[in-house]
Amino acid sequence: MENTNSFLVLFLAPVKEYLEDDSVSEILINGPQQVYIERGGRLEEVTAKFVSEPALKAAATNIAKSVGRLLDEMHPRLDARLPDGSRVHAVIPPLARVGTVIAIRKFKKDTLTIDKMLSFGSMDESTIKLIRALVALHKNVIVSGATSSGKTSVLNAVSSFIPDRERVLVIEDASELQLQQRHVVSFETRKADKNGQGEVTIRDLIHSALRLRPDRLVIGEIRGGEALDLLQALNTGHAGSMSTIHANSPEDCLRRIETCALLSGIDIPLAALRAQVASAIDAVIHTARLSDGSRKVVSIAEVMPLSGGEYQVRELQNWCTESISADGAVSGRFALCEPPSFEKEAKVAGIDLPS
């Protein structure tokens, strides 16, 4: 692994200092002459440059080779996980008009714990109590949000409340989650080889997972037809499961799950599908990256039964922005909205809820 990392640094020498800088979370290479990094939630352009487009393309090609993938005219896109856990996506010309484009999302060596998120202001004590109750009561939870809003970090934090005695099966496209429980079994999808064979999808792994006696399923991200398999699993007794999805709000999260389920290729009436979504998902935790680069849990919403065939959510807590200073810093507070419908259930189980 160390040899492979040295090999990668050799080809990415112009951005070596950012690869080794733990404060840098992402490196964005827009052709040979333009590089941006993300630090502290903010993008900044740096002076690093590659000597030429052929040199940059060679770097991308060798990254692909190092992880057993192809990047050429027939395969102009690369989506891969590096040996250290970082994720890389590359697109080469003529698809990318500015030259080879590479995005590297660096793997965080330290797990972002609930306590750290509390200290960063990403959530407050009430948020923690609500999340702890959702997990303890085996509610099915989806963490939603935009790209780079902190969904994976929040899912890690949510999963930290799963009791150590439970068997947790984790399914991801690229391993990012860092569950700390003792009984965790992790699976990772596999791309097809150069002959188009050997692909193993999230859907395949969900089918296997259901036969491996899980207490909970943790799916890294819902992106396509696997949503229908997950919905069926959640509606047949696998309570307490969790996943993430790209969405703009808790309501949009449910519509996105519906759309992904329709991509499964299985013909199912829309009314029946919506009933499955509303029945399977108990709560949505919505994340956002604010204008100052900070990431917060901006909403926790409970999913209610359909009303007139439409999704209904009941917001339990949200983030209220109260002011933005001259330097862009956002100030505000977390506000409780309505008591959860599972208040009595929590009381019987001896679980403390925010008052």
Q: pLDDT by residue (tens digit) across 10-22? A: 778 999 999 888 8
- Enter the pTM of the model: 0.85
Q: What is the pLDDT of residues 126-175, one digit of tens each?
A: 999 999 999 999 999 999 999 888 898 899 889 999 999 999 999 988 77
What is the CATH code of the structural domain delimited by 114-348?
3.40.50.300
Distance between CA atoms of 198 and 340, rounded to whole angstroms?
A: 46
Q: Does domain 2-105 have CATH number 3.20.20.450?
A: no
3-state SS assignment for residue 93: coil
Distances 244 to 85, 250, 253, 265 between C-alpha atoms, Å: 19, 12, 9, 22
User: What value does the mean pLDDT take over residues 308-327?
Assistant: 94
- pLDDT digit string (tens) for 82-109? 767 788 999 999 999 999 999 998 877 6
In this prediction, residue 4 has a pLDDT band, given cuts at 50, 70 and 90, of very low
Structure confidence by residue, pLDDT tens digits, 264-312: 989 999 999 999 999 999 999 999 999 888 999 999 999 999 999 999 9
Question: Rounded mean pLDDT of 332-336?
Answer: 95
**CA angle (234 as vertex; 208, 144 as ends), nearest 5:** 100
**Over 80: is that where the pLDDT of 7 sits?**
no
Quickly state the pLDDT bin for 2 (edges 50, 70, 90).
very low
Which conformational region is residue 176 in: left (phi greater than 0), alpha (psi within -120 to 50 degrees), or beta?
Answer: alpha
CB-CB contact of 286 with 334 (8 Å): no
Helices (H), the chain: 2-11, 16-19, 53-66, 114-120, 125-136, 151-159, 202-209, 226-234, 250-262, 270-280, 343-348
- pLDDT tier at 1, thresholds 50, 70, 90: very low
Q: How many CA atoms lie within 13 A of 100 on its CB side?
A: 27
Task: Kindly list the domain boundaries of the chain, sorted by start residue.
Answer: 2-105, 114-348
d(C-alpha 343, C-alpha 109), whole Å? 37
